[in-house]
Amino acid sequence: MSETFRGRSFVVGFYLTIVALTGAIGAVLGAVGPEDLTPVKLLGVVTLQPTPLGLAVYGVVTVGIALGIPLALVVVVSEVADAESAEET
């Protein structure tokens, strides 16, 4: 595997690809979806209309948060573990 697609850069690139794909799918659903779609609540706070932009924003934010928080936790835990193993040697 090349140096460009290893480790953290691969994971972050994959995360961004998934989030972008979710936004694109939301936009397509908003454009060609059924006419009787109901508005969605983003994080229970903001109501978004079922337009291409509204569904794209909903998808990007919800998937971004749902995958971003665990990803950030993995990064923090791995940095702490690396720091601890470096101290032991």
CA distance from start to end of the chain: 28
Closest listed residue to residue 7, CA positions, set 84, 86, 74, 68: 74
Q: For 68-85, how does the pLDDT look when each residue is reduced to its tens digit (9 = 90+)?
A: 999 889 888 888 887 777
The three-class DSSP label of residue 2 is coil
**For position 34, what pLDDT does the model report?**
83
Confirm whether pTM is higher than 0.85: no
Q: Give the angle subtended at the CA of 18 by the CAs of 15 and 19, to the nearest 5°.
A: 85
The domain tally of the chain equals 1
CA distance 60 to 29: 13
The structure tokens 């702490």 sit at 80
Structure tokens at 41: 């609540």
Residue 34 structural domain: 3-88
Give per-residue pLDDT as tens, 22-76.
999 999 999 998 888 889 898 889 998 999 999 999 999 999 999 999 988 988 8
